[in-house]
Structure 1
Amino acid sequence: MPRTASPLSLALLGAGVFLLVLAPLLIWYVTPRAAVTPVDVDVTTVFTGTGSYFDTDALTTRDGQRITITRHVLGDVAASEQSGRAVWDVSTTVDTPRTLPLKDPRRAFQWTTGRWVTDRRSNAPVHCCGESPTRFDGDAYLKFPFAVEKKTYRWWDDTLGAAVPLHFAGTTQRQGITGYRFTGTVPATRTGTRQVPGRLVGRPGQGQIQAEEWYANTGIDLVVEERTGRIVDASISPVKTLRAPGARRDAVVLLRARNLAFTPATRRAQIALARADSGKLALVGRTLPTAAGAAGGVLAVAGGVLVARGRRGGRFSAA
């Protein structure tokens, strides 16, 4: 009587075929759906450095002072799940040695808030859900897109109110992580007006005037983890000044800092988050597909051989 393939050989063949199908499925279907911006974020990043600021009580600029920028990002999970977008509320304070101990954003040297809404896969800005600012544009702000490329990105500068080109400047190491470095600058640009005493900007004969606010950034330097787009290190050099209406020179330095950089604690926290997120993406996008493909090939071949042998062994004659 003819023999049929054994259950073991069929099981091996079936498992092999399943794993061979699973490998490309992980790459082309699962990985893109895993590479999405998280919505349940609660992250604080801190920049510190030395600079100058305008003391409004003494009406003078104080040099050589410790400047601290603290940014808190909190995800609005309910709005994110309802809209299918990443909705993040952002609070940013600039503190001096006098305001930092107060631990109150309302009493900081400067306090701004925003509501950032982005597409969870592309990182592109989305205009919905009460976003602020409404003119937000660019490729990157709090993070870069997934699978960062060695090219120029448009980075949104909230103080400028516009996107700034950041150019790829090579790779660098941060605690075992290879990051892509992007650099750029912001030339002195008028960003608005502020009512001040005329004597403050060299117009003593006038009372209150609308002085021009100018902003520049002499050095933006970001290090980005390639797979996740997370910023693992950063340095900025903001300059904010006042000019008399129509003047070509600065009259007052409101804020001037050079190389305000991530604190060591912030850098470690960002690297840890990048390493964890990158590991998950590598698992589903590289490790599991490779293992599934290799194991599937072995099992399919073994199962196929056993099935063929079983069928050939069943052919005999009763002479």
Structure 2
Amino acid sequence: MPESGNPATPATASATASPRSLVLLGLGVFLLVLAPLLAWYVAPRAKVTPVDVDVTTVFTGTGSYFDTDALRTVRRQKITITRHVLGDVAASERSGRAVWDVSTTVDTPKTLALRDPRKAFQWTTERWVTDRRTNAPVHCCEEAPARFDGDAYLKFPFDLEKRSYRWWDNTLGAAVPLRYAGTKTVQGYTGYRFTGTVPAARTGSRQVPGRLVGRPRQGQIQAEEWYANSGIELVADRRTGRIIDAAISPLKTLRAPGGRRDAVTLLRGEHLRFTPATQRAQVRLAQADSEKLALVSGVLPVGSAAAGGVLALIGVVLVVLGRRPGGRS
């Protein structure tokens, strides 16, 4: 009589996939799904202008300025421009924009020692509001000046191209075209270089004694204020748009009403440039932000896709082998 309850032979036994193969397959699929998520969702959200900024940049160089005590222009003096940018985090979070308050002082050796912006040779304040992704100006949130425009001011847009950009010149009150002029290395870090100039333009008027502008027979006179810039040079990080070096050569003068020649030099800066300390600080910030963006937009998605593909393939192979009769469990 045939025996009952015989165990199944190896050829008929049902094989199952090993836990290790399933783990590898699951991990591979997860990494494959993660790769486009990083590239299409995380990276665009990481590429936004920060709102919690607190940065001070300093320009120095030699130049001339009008000494109101001596009533004359003094030359070959040290000129210092200090710009402090502070992000308004609360306003930024409410509006979804980047809201930055900017304080800029121009100092002579006499006023710099006072360390008080109210006593600086010149002090201006601005409220700069931009779209966090495009860097385009946004007219909201009590921005000042209210009519600013352009592509760049405190920074350039992300992912710079080798083309011209419009830079907002707050003294001129208008955007100035800056041309791409190759690359430049600053403190060991290479960025895109942009250059331009500002032809002489009238920017306002100021009441002064007539004798200052060649009208001695007149008492007080509304002299014309003129501004020019013979050399603007900005070097920006290609990926983040952060400015790592800057140089300007501003000229502010007075003319008699309707006059064609400058009568008084109020301020002349001869190639005022970021100090080495400012360059190093800007390079550190640009390099850190650029590496983060490169990580989430390139290295991690590519690495995740490659690793996911390999692990998924290994997992599939092990699952197939494990399900074959006689395969390893």
Question: Please, what TM-score do these two structures have when normalized by structure 1?
Answer: 0.97
* Residue of 155, 159, 178 corresponding to 2:171: 159
CA apart distance, 1:247? 0.6
Find the aligned partners of 1:175 and 1:306 in 2 and give their Cα distance: 52
Structure 2 residue runs of 5 or longer lacking an equivalent are: 1-12
* Residue of 123, 126, 130 corresponding to 1:118: 130
Q: Does 1:220 align with 2:226?
A: no
Find the aligned partners of 1:280 and 1:313 in 2 and give their Cα distance: 49
Q: Does 1:187 align with 2:204?
A: no
What is the identity, as a one-letter code, of the residue corresponding to 1:268?
R
Find the aligned partners of 1:299 and 1:78 in 2 and give their Cα distance: 45
Find the aligned partners of 1:164 and 1:44 in 2 and give their Cα distance: 23
Q: Does 1:54 align with 2:52?
A: no
Aligned residues: 315
* Residue of 68, 83, 92 corresponding to 2:95: 83
The answer for the alignment partner of 2:264 in structure 1 is 252
Find the aligned partners of 1:210 and 1:283 in 2 and give their Cα distance: 57
Find the aligned partners of 2:178 and 2:35 in 1 and give their Cα distance: 36
1:273-288 equivalences under 5 Å are 273-288=285-300
For the 8 Å contact 1:2–1:314, the answer to whether it is kept is no
Find the aligned partners of 1:128 and 1:181 in 2 and give their Cα distance: 31
CA apart distance, 1:314? 6.0
CA apart distance, 1:150? 0.8
Percent of matched pairs sharing the same residue: 77
The answer for the alignment partner of 2:254 in structure 1 is 242
1:20-169 equivalences under 5 Å are 20-169=32-181
The answer for the alignment partner of 1:262 in structure 2 is 274
Find the aligned partners of 1:97 and 1:204 in 2 and give their Cα distance: 31
Structure 1 residue runs of 5 or longer lacking an equivalent are: none
The answer for the alignment partner of 2:23 in structure 1 is 11
For the 8 Å contact 2:187–2:279, the answer to whether it is kept is no
SS of the aligned residue for 1:214 comes to: strand
CA apart distance, 1:68? 0.2
1:297-316 equivalences under 5 Å are 297-313=309-325
Output the aligned Cα RMSD. Answer: 1.0
Find the aligned partners of 1:239 and 1:42 in 2 and give their Cα distance: 29
Find the aligned partners of 1:314 and 1:34 in 2 and give their Cα distance: 51
* Higher CA-based Rg: 2
Which region of structure 1 is more displaced relative to structure 2, 173-182 or 34-43?
173-182
Find the aligned partners of 2:311 and 2:83 in 1 and give their Cα distance: 52
For the 8 Å contact 1:47–1:261, the answer to whether it is kept is yes
